[in-house]
Homo-oligomer: A and B are copies of this chain.
Amino acid sequence: MYKNYQEFIKSNLKLDMSRGKPSPEQLDLALSLLNETGISDQIKSSGTDCRNYGVQLGLPEVREFFASLLDVSMDQVVVEGNSSLALMHDVIVFALLYGTAGHSPWVSEKPITFICPVPGYDRHFSILEAFGIKMINVPLLEDGPDMDIVESLVSKDDSIKGMWCVPKYSNPTGTVYSADVINRLAAMNTAAADFRLFWDDAYHFHHLTDERIAIPNILDLCQTAGNPDRAIVFASTSKMTFAGSGLAILASSMANIDWWQKCVSVRTIGPDKLNQLRHLHFFQDSVSVDSLMDQHRAILKPKFDIVDAVFEEYLGKIEGVSWSKPLGGYFINLITPAGLAKRTIELAKDAGIVLTPAGATFPYGVDPEDKHIRIAPSFPSLDEIKLAAQGVSLSLLHAIEDQKDNIK
């Protein structure tokens, strides 16, 4: 155990904790996918030669499989490409240029605004910033976004067309939206008739406890509330099989799926169906999915535990410092006293630890109070994580000391 920052900096660590990447050990869990030879017998799935063009929305049996996992009907599911981020991006592009089903193109209605619960996922915000879509921060509370603020905003402002939601094990706080919050999101009155919830269910299967938390089905609730086309759900197998070679999934109302199909068929003749077949072979059924995710958890949980233990030891009694204790997902959110996140990240960098840039979990990269640090414990080894957690702790303690000195 290092006692102070000066001692730590001498250890010459070189560690990247900036992104939520799976570790090599996790990727090894899907190694049989790489060597999947059985699919050559199955290239004529559903009467289609899966090697050829076509099947715009994904192979029926693969859509069926994810439909059952996500508890929706097969018609409501699209399986396409290797990146759910790309699906989110493209929904926004199509909304900008075509408008959502039955509505005007967003480009003809500028300015467009999105509600962004904060802290949140930097790549969500990057898409909006790139397209000049205005972002409004709304605090993420213990049980989800502050719904009093959300309801007040969307009921009055018809430029608000969308809202990012990571409803389970949210990036970076691990927040799980409560049933009450989800119900209110589904039922609230919105001034814009074409308001959409961008429901990024990135961590649906990524539990860190044996509780396997389930949240209410947003598509059902929207339907019941009379807002059937409100939510578009995204998921992927990137953190289940291979991060770069998984499957991306979109689920929504039939009207939204028809709209998606119309838009996407201008773009491509169809997805890589062979990779879909590979995944179907590999996953088999929901029991084996659970078992796979248990194996991921067995690798990930000790990493989260060691960060928590180190933080507890170094920072447990420090005023103004706290951190999330997520039950799933990929991140820990470390909260520093106001004004110290950036400085802490700089000090950690000088000590050889690359963290997610300060402010990244806020729109425009601006954390107004400069106090959030996203910790991504998944990729490094357990020993490295332990060292890195010490380094981050000592960097923060050093920043706190500096601040005290400056006040004196």
User: Is A37 on the interface with B (CB-CB < 8 A)?
Assistant: yes
Contact across chains for A268 and B21 when beta carbons are under 8 A apart = no
Contact across chains for B244 and A52 when beta carbons are under 8 A apart = yes
Among B34, B49, B89, B272, point to the contact of A40 (Cβ < 8 A): B34
The interface residues of chain B lying within 8 Å CB-to-CB of A263 are 130
Contact across chains for B85 and A93 when beta carbons are under 8 A apart = no
Given contacts A35-B37, A37-B37, A40-B31, contact A126 B51 (CB under 8 A): no
User: Is A96 on the interface with B (CB-CB < 8 A)?
Assistant: yes
In the assembled complex, the Cα of A288 lies from the Cα of B90 at a distance in Å of 37
Given contacts A131-B97, A267-B89, contact A53 B107 (CB under 8 A): no
Contact across chains for A244 and B54 when beta carbons are under 8 A apart = yes
Contact across chains for B51 and A27 when beta carbons are under 8 A apart = yes
User: Is A60 on the interface with B (CB-CB < 8 A)?
Assistant: no
In the assembled complex, the Cα of A21 lies from the Cα of B238 at a distance in Å of 30
Given contacts A49-B24, A93-B93, A242-B52, contact A34 B274 (CB under 8 A): yes
User: Is A98 on the interface with B (CB-CB < 8 A)?
Assistant: yes
CB distance from A142 to the nearest CB of B (A): 30
CB distance from A95 to the nearest CB of B (A): 12
The interface residues of chain B lying within 8 Å CB-to-CB of A53 are 19, 21, 238, 243-244
In the assembled complex, the Cα of A90 lies from the Cα of B263 at a distance in Å of 12
In the assembled complex, the Cα of A127 lies from the Cα of B268 at a distance in Å of 10
In the assembled complex, the Cα of A31 lies from the Cα of B127 at a distance in Å of 39
Chain A contributes a number of interface residues (CB within 8 A of B) equal to 53
The interface residues of chain B lying within 8 Å CB-to-CB of A272 are 82, 244-245, 272, 275
The interface residues of chain B lying within 8 Å CB-to-CB of A90 are 267
In the assembled complex, the Cα of A183 lies from the Cα of B339 at a distance in Å of 60
In the assembled complex, the Cα of A89 lies from the Cα of B31 at a distance in Å of 34
In the assembled complex, the Cα of A363 lies from the Cα of B39 at a distance in Å of 40
Contact across chains for B82 and A271 when beta carbons are under 8 A apart = yes
CB distance from A356 to the nearest CB of B (A): 14
The interface residues of chain B lying within 8 Å CB-to-CB of A19 are 53
CB distance from A5 to the nearest CB of B (A): 31
The interface residues of chain B lying within 8 Å CB-to-CB of A27 are 49, 51-52
In the assembled complex, the Cα of A107 lies from the Cα of B266 at a distance in Å of 18
User: Is A269 on the interface with B (CB-CB < 8 A)?
Assistant: yes
Scan residues 75-96 of chain A and give those whose CB is less than 8 A from a CB of chain B: 81-83, 85-86, 89-90, 93, 96
In the assembled complex, the Cα of A267 lies from the Cα of B21 at a distance in Å of 17
In the assembled complex, the Cα of A89 lies from the Cα of B94 at a distance in Å of 12
Among B24, B52, B89, B127, point to the contact of A243 (Cβ < 8 A): B52
Contact across chains for B274 and A245 when beta carbons are under 8 A apart = yes
Output the nearest chain B residue to A239 by Cβ-Cβ distance.
B53
User: Is A22 on the interface with B (CB-CB < 8 A)?
Assistant: yes
Question: What are 11 residue pairs bridging A and B, where the CB atoms are less than 8 Å apart in the complex?
Answer: A35-B37, A51-B243, A52-B244, A55-B244, A83-B267, A85-B268, A96-B97, A242-B274, A244-B270, A244-B272, A245-B274
Q: Please name 7 further chain A to chain B contacts, defined as beta carbons within 8 Å, in addition to the given A37-B37, A55-B244, sorted by A numbering.
A: A34-B37, A34-B39, A53-B244, A86-B267, A244-B271, A245-B272, A245-B275
